Structure 1
Amino acid sequence: MKPTREQIRRAYIDACYQEIEALKPGNVHRFADGHRMNAGQFFESAQVSSHAVSDPALSTGQRILAAVTATRNKIGTNTNLGILLLCVPLAKAAETGDPDLQASVTTTLEKLGIDDARDVFSAIVLAQPGGLGSAPKHDVSIEPEVSLLEAMREAADRDMIARQYVTGFADIFTGGLKAHKAAVDRDERGMWPAVFIYLHFLSAFPDSHIIRKHGNLVAEKTRQEGERNLRRIEGLTDGKEREKVLLAFDVQLKADGINPGTSADLTVATLFALKLNLALHNVEVNA
């Protein structure tokens, strides 16, 4: 089934909302603000960016730039650059109606050109993400000379979002969706499937955002702490006890200025992919 633009837009908003409702240690969520941002800003960002994300008249790069511009004009800070870099290709791929969403994403990524790179570079400069510095090749402050896919390939060994572009979003379609399925199979409900997606990414890889701001050692230490907390809450059945554990971890990370932003971005993209798959297979999107 080929989803409508409104179905894609709603799936995107729902994925963003579901992620911000989940207790994600170190990141912004409805339980606690952080890093000079609050949950309300993320809810607004989802709404104002949704129109560009789902606009079939725009290219991938144009959608990302338009969505970042709309967010910047409304919120005044970067709340969703990573989310948009991941979700826009998913939205564009879903428009084809191909039930194999990952194959369609791969095709979408392969078609990215130098114009997409130009628009995305402009979006990155406009968003001013934390920890962004110069790069030896394909610096975003310089006019691009290669396609967006080639630029992402150059950064893939140091950035998890760039890595998705060159692997066909493999970490989302395997790791993220697998973590969600495992949680659902355990009868996790409410926010918990999203929490377990987040903790999967936090514990599986050193978070790229942490690496950019604090370095590899801090990122690896955070990954190890994420893994310990994941195992701990897996062993608990009481939701309030789980919340206490995660909130303590949350306070610790925020006190140190550590924000696993890439893990959160990958969580949104996983939830969006899940909802798009449901739409593509004619299943109620909110199921």
Structure 2
Amino acid sequence: MLTHSDIRTAYEDACRQEIEAFKPGNVHVFAEGHDMTVGQFLTSANVSSEPLTDPKLSLGTRIFEAVRATRNAVGTNTNLGIILLCAPLMLAAETNTGDLRSNLDEALRAMDLEDTAAVFEAIVLASPGGLGSSSQHDVREKPTVHLLEAMREASARDSIARQYVTSYQDIFERGLPALEAATARGESAMWPTVFAYMEFLSTFPDSHVLRKHGAEIAEEVRQEAAIVRATIGRNGDREDRIRILAAFDGRLKQRGINPGTSADLTVACLLVHNLRLRLA
């Protein structure tokens, strides 16, 4: 059975592993950007981990309090997507029966309208880039449906919402296999994380890019990511890989393009991996 300390450490480690990996277009230790720093992300992980593992709080309240702690600490939205994805996983990990994915479904279904309202408040507080109004289930209004219904309505345009209504399909069936395959072929250090990130970025248009820049640019980024992923997959030389990633990173940041959702999915993937290692 995992303790709250185990789960908290698994989450903080996942956030650190993600920020230490070269993720083109995103903030990482090789190059910051988008008016955000590595330190802000590490601080965000630290301050959000406590409410996310507070056994006295419901799932929705954990999400709201984690967002509020982050906002108070760094003054900007560094981790809304991370919190939305990781909070249900962390709650699911507290259950000592069944497997993580089945426990995840139970945790999500157990949420009520108060949880939904707390999640809506968290999203508004974080003010994510590109957030607009919605004709259905607008987060600025009092919710009238379960969170899963609201996420279902948004799932076609938002990859994080899609995880809620597909039992985290992209995490368990895309990101994790990419990370584990990289590890199995001898990749080490940051490289399994890089390949998980590139799997997300090259498979479907990044939601954050889609909201801020539109479908054409989001698809353009996805296609370029597919080429970069294939290139570094064929070339095992570290310096060549870094050069290729740095060039892609520079092109994206010069245009103000931040594939933040792909990075959020990567953290969730790493969290599941870390939790499984602790359960083994």
Which category describes the TM-score, using the shorter chain as reference length?
A: over 0.9
**CA pair 99-277 structure 1, distance change in 2 beyond 3 A:** farther
Q: Which residue of 2 aligns with 1:197?
A: 196
The equivalent residue for 2:99 is: 100
- Runs of 4+ residues deviating >4 angstroms: none
Q: State how far apart, in whole Å, the 2-side matches of 1:277 and 1:92 are.
A: 14
How many equivalent pairs are there?
Answer: 280
2:175 match:
176
What are structure 1's unaligned runs of at least 5 residues? Answer: 282-287
| Matched residue type, 1:117 | T
CA distance in 2, matches of 1:12, 1:18: 10
What are the superposed Cα offsets for residues 217-246 of structure 1, whole Å, 9 maximum, x if unpaired? 110010000000000101111111100100
Deviations 1:258-284 (A, max 9, x none): 100000000000000111122233xxx
3-state secondary structure, aligned to 2:51: helix
* Identity percentage of aligned residues: 57
Deviation at 1:72, TM superposition (A): 0.2
Question: Matched residue of 2:72: which SS?
Answer: helix
CA distance in 1 between counterparts of 2:106 and 2:87 reads 14
Aligned pairs for 1:1-287 (under 5 A) are: 2-281=1-280
The CA distance in 2 between the partners of 1:167 and 1:123, in whole Å, is: 22
Aligned letter for 2:152?
R
1:175 and 1:226 map into 2 onto residues whose CA distance is 15
Distance 1:47 1:128 in 2: 20
Task: Judge which range, 44-53 or 107-116, deviates more.
Answer: 107-116
Map Cα deviations across residues 15-64 of structure 1 (whole Å, 9 max, x no partner): 00000000000000000011000111100000000001111111111000
Q: How large is the Cα RMSD of the aligned pairs?
A: 0.7
Paired residue secondary structure (2:29)? coil
User: Per the alignment, in what secondary structure is the counterpart of residue 56 of structure 2?
Assistant: coil
- Identify the range of structure 1 (173-182 vs 80-89) with the bigger mean alpha-carbon deviation: 173-182
Residue 101 of structure 2 aligns to a residue whose secondary structure is: helix
Aligned residue identity for 1:137: Q
Q: Distance in 2 between matches of 1:231 and 1:165?
A: 29
Please give the alpha-carbon distance, in whole angstroms, between the structure 1 residues aligned to 2:253 and 2:100.
36
**Shift of residue 110 of structure 1?**
1.4
User: 8 Å contact 1:49–1:68 — kept in the other structure?
Assistant: yes
Contact 1:183 1:192 in 2 (8 A): yes
Name the CA distance, whole Å, in 2 between partners of 1:175 and 1:100: 18
Gaps of 5+ in 2: none
Cα shift at 1:99: 4.8
